[in-house]
Amino acid sequence: MSALTNAIDILRCFSTSRPDLSFADVQVLTGKPKSSTSRLLRSLRDCGLLEQDPHSRRYRPGLLTFELGRLHRAHDDLIATAERELRDVCARTGHTGYIAVLDGYQQVVLRIVPGSNPLRVVNPPGQRTPAIITSNGRAMLARLSDQEIRARVPLDYPKVPANSPQNFPELMARLNEIRRTGISDAADEAIEGVGSQGFALASGESGELIGIAVSYSVQATTEIERANVRRELGAMAAKLRRMTGDPLGQTIEQLAGLAS
């Protein structure tokens, strides 16, 4: 375990559900001795990756993470292009749009396009979710080789909501359907009462892979409306794939992002 590895282990304890942590929290979550925890937290604070609230003494991500986070994919063509198209679709349909990337068997939300419908955004940018329980997450997985998928999904299949694939064969069945149709959907999975449809988009030149989804309230939409979303998404996918030179036939072998 290098010093950097230990530092990262601490940083990975933070999440949207745990935006700040006490010394004890970190010690429990990392399982490291007190002395090591103390030294590492001090180092991280001194270098700006963490801040410490002077009153509560709790730690939170530091200014440096904010600065760097603002630079992440700030000039990414694939995402900018996709976001423009997604904005149009969301304006027409009123629903909320998401753009996410894959990291291991999880996805991370990068961009949100709020719709006009008052569906509160509970998946803010930075949100990490198992890819197997979202429409765009599964769409991204479907673009990988079967071998790659198996390597990413944990051996003991995670506990997932009732509507999500409950085991590896069920997952592969859903992914194969996505491979046929090009479109993925979900309902009542990550969030109760919320449905979504999505697809994956790859760049021909950079090999990047992103997942795009439109999400809506299941109760407040009719079958007709969902069919309309599907048409919109199909047109958007076709247009974007042309623009980005998406090599639809081949599977993507990403370099980074191993299963954790």
Residues binding a second copy (CB under 8 A): 2-5, 7-8, 11-12, 14-16, 19-20, 43-45, 47-49, 51-55, 60-75, 101, 103, 108, 110, 124-126, 128, 205-207, 255-256
User: Is residue 3 close enough to count as binding DNA by CB under 7 A?
Assistant: yes
C-alpha dihedral (200, 204, 206, 212), degrees to nearest 10? -20
Q: Is 115 exposed, middle or buried (0-12, 13-18, 19+ CB in 10 A)?
A: buried
Q: Is 75 exposed, middle or buried (0-12, 13-18, 19+ CB in 10 A)?
A: exposed
Among residues 23, 121, 179, 217, the one that binds DNA under rule CB under 7 A: 23
Report whether 183 contacts 119 (CB < 8 A).
Answer: no
Given a second copy, DNA, none, residue 154, with its beta carbon under 5 to 8 Å by kind, binds none
Closest approach, Cβ 86 to DNA, in A, equals 34
Among residues 5, 17, 167, 222, the one that binds DNA under rule CB under 7 A: 5
- Cα distances from 115 to residues 53, 70, 82, 123, in angstroms, run 35, 23, 16, 14
Given a second copy, DNA, none, residue 71, with its beta carbon under 5 to 8 Å by kind, binds a second copy
Q: Which residues, numbered 37-76, are part of the site for DNA (CB under 7 A)? A: 37-42, 57
Footprint of DNA on this chain (CB under 7 A)?
1-6, 22-24, 27, 32-42, 57
